[in-house]
Amino acid sequence: MSTPWVLFEIDGVVAYLTINRPDARNAMTWEMYEALVAACEAVDASDTVRVLVLRSAGDKAFISGTDISQFTQFTTPEAPLDYERRMDSIIDRLERVRVPTIAQVQGVAAGGGCAIALACDMRVCSPEAQFGVPIARTLGNCLSAANYARLVDLIGPALTKEILFTGRLIDVTEAQSLGLVTRLAPQSALDAAARTLAKTIAGHAPLTIHATKEAVRRIQAHRRIDPDLANDLVTMCYTSDDFKEGVAAFLAKRPPQWQGR
């Protein structure tokens, strides 16, 4: 299931998935998302793996989000709904992995990368780590209902609105104060910190850990609305002139000119 851009390996009781596209700030293509799902399937099929660690190559970004060039392929009103449903299924699959998951975050976790990091059970971060979904100042799209719910669960409704309204990124100090950071380590010691945490968890009772993880997931899932109840909002944003402008501006590396339509 490894590809040039996604590397999967199992080292004893710990599985590692490395996003390996540093020249593009580890932006995710559909092939890369599919490799993430395949890794989740492989971990669940294993009798030996006890922890899954997600990490990235380079020091600039954990995952900077979805490769924006893929949005130029949206030609029908149904396309953005299909995109958000597909993204929801990928993030949901990551949440449902039987074993604990650790995001090893160095640099920026933005957009879809932020969603991936927050869907993991724990986050081991370097001091350079940042989290955010800056779509209000970049693309002009919106999140799915499930991803809004994940943010509200983790940081509350007021801060969710503030960071999405402003498009800012949360630095590691603020992320730590919000409880998003499980461990903090210098970048040179990040691999070791994630490995130590993974080995500690792997040495404990697997059924207890699985029951705890699944109980928390079910509680969170129970609070989420039907995804289709936000379809009108997804359609409004993704089919707008502003979204077309946001994508064009992003790819041209210029500021977008918002019109509110």
Considering the domain boundaries, does residue 211 fall inside one?
no
> Has residue 27 got a pLDDT over 70?
yes
Question: pTM to 2 decimals?
Answer: 0.94
- How many structural domains is the chain composed of? 1
Considering the domain boundaries, does residue 259 fall inside one?
no
Considering the domain boundaries, does residue 81 fall inside one?
yes
Q: What is the mean pLDDT of residues 69-94?
A: 91
Query: What pLDDT digit, counting tens, does each position of 48-72 carry?
Result: 999 999 999 998 999 999 999 888 8
Among candidate residues 108, 126, 234, 243, the one with its CA nearest the CA of residue 169: 108
Considering the domain boundaries, does residue 158 fall inside one?
yes
| Antiparallel, parallel or unpaired: β 51-56 and 61-63 | unpaired
Considering the domain boundaries, does residue 200 fall inside one?
no
Considering the domain boundaries, does residue 41 fall inside one?
yes
Residue 218: both structure tokens together: 């079910």
CATH number at residue 43: 3.90.226.10
Considering the domain boundaries, does residue 221 fall inside one?
no
Quote the CA–CA distance of 84 and 226 in Å, as a whole number.
13
> Has residue 1 got a pLDDT over 70?
no
Considering the domain boundaries, does residue 236 fall inside one?
no
Query: What pLDDT digit, counting tens, does each position of 146-159 carry?
Result: 999 999 999 999 99
Domain that holds residue 126: 6-188
